[in-house]
A and B are shown apart, each in its own frame.
Chain A
């Protein structure tokens, strides 16, 4: 089992650009959640996808959007990048059958906006 995989591991973007991050959940998990971890902070919940729909959303602007595919993989899109979007973006997979009590995290994508 490959666990949760994220790509790319690192990327550098310029202010105003758009970025897409990808996540494949752990086998058997159908729910994907995205978190933003700024330097020196704990992860902050962005949103969660289940059955290809956004089910919950944290306090993030509409510039942050996502998608879930039939195979449960997910994308996080960020438009009009700001310097403050620089962070480690973490994907977590879980299952409602386990009441989401077994969340597995990927290694993250380190986004740097210059």
Chain B
């Protein structure tokens, strides 16, 4: 069975500092991996995804994630965070060809001035 573990429930960080949100997955088959962001009282927005090819994927707002098959990880990083990055971040794996997502429990990123 596929599962997703987000290792940190909360990550406080100061503005302009680097951040890493950790995600590990378990799957016996090829995986499609995703990071979603949820701002307060809103739905989920796709941040970035790994389907195949280059193991490093980037978003338009400076986040990047690296697919590491040997460590079964898909950690999210940003070299310099902004106050506006404060949100909850969810890592997810697509369940085979069936098309439903399995989410981790989320990591709340809190960026302080």
Interface, chain A (partner B; CB < 8 A): 4, 6, 31, 33, 35, 40-45, 48, 55-56, 58, 90, 92, 94, 96, 99-108, 110
Contact = CB atoms under 8 A, between A and B. Distances in A.
B45 A105 contact: yes
Given A31-B99, A100-B94, A101-B94, A42 B45 contact: no
A55 B96 CA distance: 14
Interface residues of B, number: 25
A82 to B, nearest CB: 22
A94 to B, nearest CB: 6
Contacts of A102: 46
Contacts of A42: 4, 6, 90, 92, 103-106
Contacts of A92: 44, 101
Nearest to A9: B41
Contacts of A35: 101
Contact of B51 (A6, A43, A90, A101): A101
